[in-house]
Amino acid sequence: MIYLDNSATTRVREEVIDEMLPYLSRSWGNPSSIHALGRESKEAVNDARQRVAALLNCDVDEIYFSSCGTLSNNAALLGRARFAEANGKGRHLITTQIEHPSVIGPCQYLEGLGWRVTYLPVNREGFVSLKELEKNTTAETSIISIMWANNEIGTVQDIASFAKFAKERNIFFHTDAVQSAGKLSIDLKVVPISALALSGHKFHAPKGIGILYVRKLQNIMPIIFGGGQEMGLLPGTEALSNIVAIGKAAELAGLEFEQNHEKLIVISKIFKQHLSQVDGLIFTGSSLLTHRLPGHISFVLPGVEGEAIVMRADLKGICISSGSACHQGIIEPSQVLKALGLSNEQAKGSVRLSASGYNTIEECTEAAVLLTNILNSMAHTASAQLSKNVMA
């Protein structure tokens, strides 16, 4: 099997499993307990928090553990909205048309509460423009949320400029960085982001653990209520072994960043070079590799369904994914593809390949050759079908 669906989830690193297992079998105390077993657990939680803070170059007490990226995004947006309401700030939020549902969902919920939400358009390559952001910002704007890198099309936004723009106007700036950890350099001492979300399973920790970063003095209020864990912001007994795991995964992501980055850029080039030979294929997202997630290539093949491509690849042992899903027999292009301006016909053939540090250049080359053959044969069948229909 050649696994090229790392934007969906990643394999848990062996080093991560080794480090987390003792916290299930031996040191399984509650970090809030004051006895030895509890203290040992507390120490492990503190240690993991430090490792995550080191990856993001921020202070340790700016890191909160959550259960996933979805919860981190919800807690940041709804928590800041609560704070804005309690402090008489404006009820206008700006986001984009290409956000993940875990950002779109809370935005729609806020609309239901009477907030005005602006969904910024993107250009053909998925970029948000600073001009557009400026044009839509008003005295009522209290929250801006723009994702760092898009899961479907790999486009990486100019987050530093957007965060600076928000800071100059004293507006809370949140970014969904779930796809960015380990792939892009995140330096929170340099980029003035107010809040950021990460998810462990996207960088080789298990599912069920996420990170919420909140800059000091940038208040958000809790959206769930319970005990005092995670400074009362995300209460609930800590998922000890998962927290240890995300700490180790963060440490490895930092240590191996340069080496993985270089390899993933080579892999992107290999994918692009081979897939360019497919008749009619249109790459989606940024055309510049410097503005894409490394190791991530996405495209559409007009006339061919994305899910059909995924299934053909699967038969050859290659795991990839499609941005269009079949709902009750109707192929539905995603909101992201529609926002790029693709027609329904073009968008239904959308596919994404996403590599990680676990992939080798050799297996990616093999997958690129196999996929190019599959796509060429599917494209020819589709165009033969089309000319038959035209003649009939």
Q: Which of 41, 179, 194, 298 binds ligand PLP (CB under 6 A)?
A: 179
Residues binding ligand PLP: what is the number (CB under 6 A)?
12
Q: Which of 68, 133, 144, 205 binds ligand PLP (CB under 6 A)?
A: 68
User: One-letter amino acid identity for 258?
Assistant: E
Q: Which of 29, 210, 254, 306 binds ligand PLP (CB under 6 A)?
A: 210
154 is an interface residue for ligand PLP by CB under 6 A: no
DSSP 66-111: ES-HHHHHHHHHHHHHHHHHHTT---EEEEETT--HHHHHHHHHHH
178 is an interface residue for ligand PLP by CB under 6 A: yes
Q: Does 107 qualify as catalytic in the annotation?
A: no
Among the listed ranges 176-184, 233-241, 292-300, 353-361, the one in contact with ligand PLP (CB under 6 A) is 176-184
Hey, how many other C-beta atoms are within 10 angstroms of the C-beta on 87? 10
State the Cα torsion 111-113-115-121 to the nearest 10°: -10
Which residue has its beta carbon closest to ligand PLP?
Answer: 69
CB < 8 Å & 24+ apart, contacts of 42-46: 44/240, 44/243, 44/244, 45/238, 45/240, 45/243, 45/244
Whole-number Å distance between alpha carbons of 392 and 390: 6
Half-sphere exposure of 7 (CA within 13 A, CB side): 26
102 is an interface residue for ligand PLP by CB under 6 A: yes
Residues 188-207 that bind ligand PLP (CB under 6 A): 199
77 vs 382, beta carbon nearer ligand PLP: 77
Q: Which of 6, 10, 41, 70 binds ligand PLP (CB under 6 A)?
A: 70
DSSP 272-321: HHHHTTSTT-EEES-SSGGGB-TTEEEEE-TTS-HHHHHHHHHHTTEE-E
Are 128 and 175 in contact by the 8 Å Cβ rule? The answer is no
69 vs 294, beta carbon nearer ligand PLP: 69
What 3 state SS string does 190-234 have?
Answer: CCCCCEEEEEHHHCCCCCCCEEEEECCCCCCCCCCCCCCCHHHCC
Annotated catalytic residue, options 58, 68, 107, 326? 326
Minimal distance in Å, beta carbon 25 to ligand PLP?
25
Give the CA distances from residue 10 to residues 21, 205, 289, 359, in Å, rounded to whole numbers and listed in that order. Answer: 18, 8, 22, 11
Among the listed ranges 11-19, 76-84, 171-179, 261-269, the one in contact with ligand PLP (CB under 6 A) is 171-179
Among the listed ranges 67-75, 287-295, 308-316, 368-376, the one in contact with ligand PLP (CB under 6 A) is 67-75
Mark 326-339 as b/e (b = at least 16 C-beta within 10 Å): eeeeebebbebbeb
Among the listed ranges 54-62, 66-74, 106-114, 367-375, the one in contact with ligand PLP (CB under 6 A) is 66-74
66 is an interface residue for ligand PLP by CB under 6 A: no
100 is an interface residue for ligand PLP by CB under 6 A: yes
Find all residues with CB under 8 Å of 31, minimum gap 6, and list them.
38, 41, 42, 44, 45, 229, 237, 238, 240
Minimal distance in Å, beta carbon 145 to ligand PLP?
11
Minimal distance in Å, beta carbon 222 to ligand PLP?
19
Minimal distance in Å, beta carbon 206 to ligand PLP?
11
182 is an interface residue for ligand PLP by CB under 6 A: no
Residues 118-147 that bind ligand PLP (CB under 6 A): 147
157 is an interface residue for ligand PLP by CB under 6 A: no
234 is an interface residue for ligand PLP by CB under 6 A: no
151 is an interface residue for ligand PLP by CB under 6 A: yes
Supply the residues annotated as catalytic: 326
Binding site for ligand PLP (CB under 6 A): 68-70, 100, 102, 147, 151, 176, 178-179, 199, 210
